[in-house]
Chain A
Amino acid sequence: MKTFVDLFHQIDQTAKTTEKVEALTSYLSSASDEDKVWTIALFTGKHPKRIATSTQLKLWAAELAQIPYWLIEESHHIVGDLSETIANVLPDYPNPSNRSLSEWMLALTAVKKQDEERRKAFLIEAWTSFTKHERFVFNKLTSGAFRMGVSQQLVVKAITRHSGIPENTITHRLMGNWSPIDTNYHSLIVASNPLDAISKPYPFCLAYGLETPLETLGTTNEWQAEYKWDGIRAQLILRNKEVFIWSRGEELITAQYPEFANLPNNLPNGTVIDGELLVYKDDRPLPFAAMQKRIGLKKVTAKNLAQSPIVLMAYDLLEYNGEDIREQPLQTRRLLLQKLIEAAHESSSDIPLHLSQAIAFDYWDQLVQERSNAPTIGSEGLMLKRLSSIYETGRKKGNWWKWKVDPMTVDAVLIYAQSGSGRRANLYTDYTFAVWNEEGALVPFAKAYSGLTDAEIKEVDQWIKKNTIDKFGPVRSVKAELVFEIAFEAIQESKRHKSGIAVRFPRILRWRKDKPASEADTLENLRKSIQQ
Chain B
Amino acid sequence: MALVEITDYGLFCAQAGVYIDPWKPVERALITHAHSDHARYGHKSYLVHHHSIPLLQKRLGNQYYMGIEYGELVNINGVQFSFHPAGHVLGSAQIRLAYKGEIWCISGDYKLQEDGVSMPFEPVKCNTFVTESTFGLPVFNWANPTKVFNEINHWWHQQASQKRTAIIFAYSLGKAQRILKGINHDIGKVWVHNAVHELNEAHVQVGIKLKPWEVLTIDAKPQPGDLIIAPTSAETEGWLKRFAPCATASASGWMAIRGTRRRSSADRGFVLSDHADWIGLNTAIKSTQCENVWVTHGYAATFSKWLRENGLNAIDIQTPFTDQPVMDLPTEN
Contact = CB atoms under 8 A, between A and B. Distances in A.
B213 interface: no
B303 to A, nearest CB: 9
A282 B267 CA distance: 57
A424 B259 contact: yes
A13 B139 contact: no
Contact of B299 (A14, A78, A84, A422): A78
- Tier of interface size on chain A: 20 to 34
Contact of A80 (B138, B140, B259, B302): B259
B148 interface: no
A423 interface: yes
Contact of A422 (B143, B256, B259): B259
B137 interface: yes
Given A13-B268, A79-B139, A89-B139, A84 B263 contact: no
B150 interface: no
A165 B138 CA distance: 48
Contacts of B143: 92
Contacts of B64: none
Interface string A259-289: 0000000000000000000000000000000
Interface string A422-435: 11111100000000
Interface string B250-272: 00000011111011000110000
Contacts of B141: 88, 91
A94 B263 CA distance: 31
A89 B143 CA distance: 13
Nearest to B306: A71
A88 B262 contact: no
Contacts of B306: 67-68, 71
Interface string B292-307: 0000000100100110
A92 B141 CA distance: 10
A370 interface: no
Contact of B259 (A65, A74, A426): A426
B161 to A, nearest CB: 15
Contacts of B260: 425-426
A85 B259 contact: no
B302 A71 contact: yes
B237 interface: no
Contacts of A65: 138
Interface in B219-272: 256-260, 262-263, 267-268
A78 B260 CA distance: 11
A81 B268 CA distance: 20
A231 to B, nearest CB: 35
Interface in A412-430: 420-427
B186 interface: no
B259 A71 contact: no
A80 B143 CA distance: 21
B309 interface: yes
Contacts of B268: 13
B256 A88 contact: yes
B137 A424 contact: no
A393 interface: no
Given A13-B268, A68-B309, A425-B257, A75 B139 contact: yes
Interface in B277-317: 299, 302, 305-306, 309
Contact of B139 (A14, A85, A424, A454): A85
Contacts of A75: 137-139
Interface in A9-37: 12-14
Contacts of B267: 13-14
A71 B257 contact: no
Contacts of B305: 70
A45 B268 CA distance: 27
B143 to A, nearest CB: 8
Contacts of A74: 137, 299, 302
B266 to A, nearest CB: 10
A424 B138 contact: no
Contacts of A68: 306, 309
- Tier of interface size on chain B: 20 to 34
Given A14-B267, A74-B302, A67 B138 contact: yes
Contacts of B259: 79-81, 420-427
A68 B138 CA distance: 11
Interface string A448-461: 00000010000000
A314 B282 CA distance: 65
A425 B138 contact: no
A78 B137 contact: yes
Given A71-B306, A78-B299, A89 B257 contact: no
B257 A84 contact: yes
B278 to A, nearest CB: 9
A65 B140 CA distance: 13
B258 A84 contact: yes
Nearest to B302: A74
B139 A81 contact: no
Contacts of B302: 71, 74
B240 to A, nearest CB: 15
Contacts of B262: 12, 422-423
Given A68-B309, A71-B302, A71-B306, A81 B137 contact: no
A450 B257 CA distance: 22
A78 B300 CA distance: 13
A86 to B, nearest CB: 9
A459 to B, nearest CB: 14
Interface string B130-145: 0000000111110100
A420 B256 CA distance: 17
Contacts of A81: 258-259
Interface string A42-77: 000000000000000000000001011011101100
Interface in A87-129: 88-89, 91-92
A68 B303 CA distance: 12
Contact of A423 (B263, B299, B309): B263
Contacts of A88: 138-141, 256
A424 B263 contact: yes
A14 B267 CA distance: 7
A62 to B, nearest CB: 9
Given A71-B138, A74-B137, A79 B257 contact: yes
A412 to B, nearest CB: 26
B173 to A, nearest CB: 23
B126 to A, nearest CB: 25
A420 B262 CA distance: 13
B175 to A, nearest CB: 20
Given A74-B302, A89-B139, A425 B309 contact: no
A17 to B, nearest CB: 15
A89 B138 contact: yes
Interface in B97-141: 137-141
> Can you list the 9 inter-chain pairs with the closest CB atoms, starting with the nearest?
A425-B259, A88-B139, A423-B262, A89-B138, A75-B139, A75-B137, A74-B302, A426-B259, A67-B138
7 contacts: A65-B138, A71-B138, A85-B139, A421-B259, A423-B262, A425-B257, A425-B259
Interface of B: 137-141, 143, 256-260, 262-263, 267-268, 299, 302, 305-306, 309
Given A425-B258, A427-B259, 14 more contacts: A13-B267, A14-B267, A65-B138, A68-B306, A71-B302, A71-B306, A74-B299, A75-B138, A78-B299, A79-B259, A81-B258, A88-B139, A88-B140, A422-B262
Interface of A: 12-14, 65, 67-68, 70-72, 74-75, 78-81, 84-85, 88-89, 91-92, 136, 420-427, 454
